Amino acid sequence: MTAVLKHELRSYFHSFTAYVFGAFLLAIVGFGAMLYNLQAAVSNFEYVLSFGSIVFVVIVPILTMRVIAEERKQKTDQLLYSLPITTTQVILGKYLALLAVYLIPLAVISIYPLIFAQFGDVYLPTSYGSLVAIFIMGAALVALGVFISSLTDNQGLAAGIGIAVILFNYYSVSLSEYVSSTAAGTVIALGVLVLALGALIRYLTRNEYLAYAVAFVLLAAICITGFVDPEAFEGLLPNIMRQLSLFERFNTFVSGVFDLTAIVYYLSVIVFFLFLSVQSLEKRRYH
Amino acid sequence: MIKVEHLTKYYGDFLAVDDLSFEIDEGHVYGFLGPNGAGKSTTMNMMTGCLSATSGRVEVGGFDLFEDADQAKKLIGYLPEQPPLYMNETPAEYLRFVGEAKGLRGAELERQIQAVIEQVRIAEVKNRRISALSKGYKQRVGIAQALLELTLKRASLEDIFLELTENGDPADQTPAGETTEEQEGEGA
Q: Each residue of B44-61: pLDDT tens digit?
A: 889 888 888 889 999 988
**pLDDT for A176:** 83
Q: What is the pLDDT of residue B182?
A: 36
Q: At what angle do helices A56-64 and A17-33 cross, to 10 degrees?
A: 170
Nearest beta carbon to residue B52 from set A10, A77, A285 = A285
What mean pLDDT, rounded, does chain A reach? Answer: 88
- Report the residue of chain B nearest A12, measured CA to CA: B88
pLDDT of residue A287: 64
Q: CA–CA separation, A130 vs A141, rounded Å?
A: 16
Where is A75: in which H helix or E strand? none
**Residue A234 burial by CB count (10 A; 0-12/13-18/19+): exposed, middle or buried?**
middle
Report whether B176 contacts B143 (CB < 8 A).
yes
pLDDT 10s digits, A55-99:
999 999 999 999 999 998 888 988 999 899 999 999 999 999 999
- Whether A167 has a pLDDT exceeding 90, the answer reads yes
pLDDT tens sequence across B96-113: 999 999 888 888 889 889
Minimum Cα–Cα distance from A285: chain B residue: B51
Q: Do A84 and B85 touch (CB under 8 A)?
A: no
| Tens-place pLDDT, residues B75-89 | 888 888 888 999 999
Q: What is the pLDDT of residue B150?
A: 64
> Maximum distance among all alpha carbons in chain B?
50
Low-confidence ranges of chain B (pLDDT < 70): 150-188
**Is A207 in CB contact (< 8 Å) with chain B?**
no
A107-124: average pLDDT: 89
Partners of residue A285 in chain B, C-beta under 8 Å: 49-52
A261 in reach of chain B (CB within 8 A) = no
Nearest to A140 by CA among A54, A21, A269, A258: A269
| Residue A240: other Cβ atoms inside 10 A | 16
Q: What is the pLDDT of residue B167?
A: 39
Q: Give me the long-range contacts of A187-192 (CB less than 8 A, separation at least 24).
A: A187/A222, A187/A226, A187/A233, A189/A237, A190/A222, A190/A236, A190/A237, A191/A219, A191/A222
Q: Of residues A144 and B177, which shows the higher confidence score?
A: A144
Pick the more confident residue, A51 or A201.
A51
CB spacing of A82 vs B78 below 8 angstroms: yes
Cα separation, B60 vs A233, in Å, equals 57
ipTM of this complex > 0.90?
A: no
pLDDT digits (tens, 9 = 90+) for A179-200: 777 777 888 888 888 888 888 8
Our CA-based measurement puts residue A287 at a distance from the nearest CA of chain B, in whole angstroms, of 7
Task: List strand residue ranges (DSSP E) for chain B, in order.
Answer: 2-11, 14-24, 55-60, 63-64, 76-79, 159-164, 184-185
DSSP character for A100?
H
According to the model, what pLDDT value does residue B168 have?
39
Using CB atoms, which residue from A3, A14, A287 is nearest to B101? A3
CA angle A23–A26–A31, rounded 5-degree value: 120
Q: Which of A3, A76, A83 sits opposite B86 (nearest CB)?
A: A76
Burial degree of A233 (CB within 10 A; 0-12, 13-18, 19+) = buried
